[in-house]
Amino acid sequence: MQLSMADLECLLLTGEVKRVLHILRDTERQAAAQPGPSAPKPPVAEAAPPDAYAVLGVTPSTPTADVRKRYWKLSLLVHPDKCNAEGAQEAFQAVAKAAATLQDAAARQQLDQKR
């Protein structure tokens, strides 16, 4: 059985969306497990953000220009207007936020210090 280009593209789109959503879910689980049983759980908005490097699939040594290229490619893949996979909107927002963090020198330096 041979897959068409459309089928291959759909698999790639779904795979990237699932990868980003997996990172988001792991971050949520870690944040939920962090407080003790008697400590109140922080609201979702206060939960630790996902690792921007993991979301984009880059390393801390990746130059800003390459981060921008990776964002451009990923945003085209997971954009909700182009990708019908479940969770595409959430994945797109995570990719955009991660790219903004890594392209801002001050925010990236702050993230690197926390790592």
| Cβ atoms 78, 91 nearer than 8 A | yes
Structural domain containing residue 107: 5-114
CATH number for position 38: 1.10.287.110
Using CA atoms, how far apart are residues 5 and 7, in angstroms rounded to an integer?
A: 5
Instruction: Summarize pLDDT for 56-102 with one digit per residue, the tens.
Output: 999 999 999 999 999 999 998 888 888 777 888 998 999 999 999 99
Instruction: Summarize pLDDT for 9-18 with one digit per residue, the tens.
Output: 656 667 777 8
The pair of structure tokens assigned to 60 is: 């801390």
pTM of the model: 0.72
Q: How many domains does the chain have?
A: 1
